[in-house]
Amino acid sequence: GKAKTVFRKSPKSENVYLKLLVKLYRFLARRTEAKFNKVVLKRLFMSRANRPPCSIAKLAKEMKGKDGKTCVVVGTVTNDVRLLDDSTLKFTVCCLRCVDSARARIVAAGGEVITFDQLALRAPTGSNCILLRGVLKSREVYKHFGRAPGVPQSDTKPYTRGGNGKNRKIESARGRRKTCGFKV
pLDDT in tens, 60-71: 999 999 999 999
Helices 35-44 and 16-31 cross at an angle (nearest 10°) of 160
Question: pLDDT at residue 166 above 70?
Answer: no
Long-range contacts of 60-68 (CB under 8 A, 24+ apart): 60/85, 60/88, 60/89, 62/130, 62/132, 63/88, 63/91, 63/130, 64/88, 66/91, 66/130, 67/91, 68/128
| pLDDT at residue number 34 | 97
| 75: nearest Cα among 13, 33, 32, 143 | 13
CB 51 within 8 A of CB 59: no
| pLDDT at residue number 146 | 94
Residue 183 β-bridge partners:
175, 176
Q: Cβ-count burial of 178 within 10 angstroms (0-12 exposed, 13-18 middle, 19+ buried)? A: exposed
Can you tell me the mean pLDDT for 130-146?
Answer: 95
Question: pLDDT at residue 163 above 60?
Answer: no
Residue 114 β-bridge partners:
94
| pLDDT at residue number 176 | 75
Segments in the chain forming alpha helices (H) = 16-31, 35-44, 56-62, 100-108, 116-122
Distance separating the N- and C-terminal Cα atoms of the chain: 45
CB 70 within 8 A of CB 122: yes
